Amino acid sequence: MIIILSPSKTIKQSDIKEVSDYSLPIFQSKSEKLVNKIKKLKPKEIASLMNVSSKLAEQTYDKFQFWNSYHSLDNSKQAILSFRGEVYTGLDANTLSDSELLFAQRHLIILSGIYGVLKPLDLIQPYRLEMATKLSILKHNNLYSYWSSSITTELKNKLVESNNNVLINLASEEYSKVINLKIINTRVVTPIFKENKNGIYKVVSVYAKKARGLMTRYIIENSTDIPENIKLFNEEGYYFNNELSSENEYIFTRG
């Protein structure tokens, strides 16, 4: 069983758990091509491309100027510890034990606009590049085209290695749609988290993001490799709603 998760826009590499184990991203050469293109952009061009403020564009420009392909513990940190935001608040990776981090290393893949796929202990340097950014590179009109084949092939290989051909989709649609599911040809289970609003269950983005992180942690803590086991998830008031769920769409509700 393999879990996929989105990255976060925010990366912070100070005040994190010191972990000596690490790995390196497998698509460094493809990442370097992207970064080299972005390095040539001026802050105003970055602001337009990424639809961000001039201040954030300046910060993004600086991050890419310092980015280099050589990653070590001196200039990089593990991905799962570096990402912040609601998903990673729920995951709270800094409090995972060493054995739990190793389980995550075998079962969790974080999708990325710069790195393609990241194992939790892969070293990363600060960046900002969402998968939906309309950046053309080589013969590709966007990042989906640039990454789809590489990410799909890697996920297919990871699923074969796991001896349990099930993909748990905890990524956002922005990231999960980069995967060619026809090629992977596997069962995909998608947990969805909804809030009760005046008797109607709706997805509320900020809560759903944190819940995806909570679910990821639940799987890691319980070392589960059986999709049906995640129906027992009951963190922060959520429960599996059998009535709303289907075979491959697990609905969790609260309120």
Count CA within 13 A, CB hemisphere, residue 72. 2
Average predicted confidence (pLDDT) for the chain: 95
Supply the pLDDT for residue 165. Answer: 85
The predicted model gives 31-52 an average pLDDT of 96
pTM for this entry: 0.95
Which pLDDT score, from 0 to 100, does residue 180 have? 96
C-alpha–C-alpha distance, residues 169 and 17, integer Å: 27
% of the chain exceeding 70 in pLDDT: 100
User: pLDDT tens digits for 220-252?
Assistant: 999 998 999 999 999 999 999 999 999 999 999
Residue 162: per-residue pLDDT: 82
Average pLDDT over residues 16-22: 92
Confidence (pLDDT) at 166: 95
Are 71 and 125 contacting, i.e. CB atoms less than 8 angstroms apart? yes
Q: What is the pLDDT of residue 51?
A: 95
Q: Is pLDDT above 90 for 161? A: no
Q: What is the pLDDT of residue 217?
A: 98
Instruction: Please check the confidence at residue 164 and state whether its pLDDT lies above 80.
Output: no
Residue type, 26: I
Would you place residue 209 in the very low, low, confident or very high pLDDT band (cuts 50, 70, 90)?
Answer: very high
- The answer to whether 216 and 233 have CB atoms below 8 angstroms apart is no
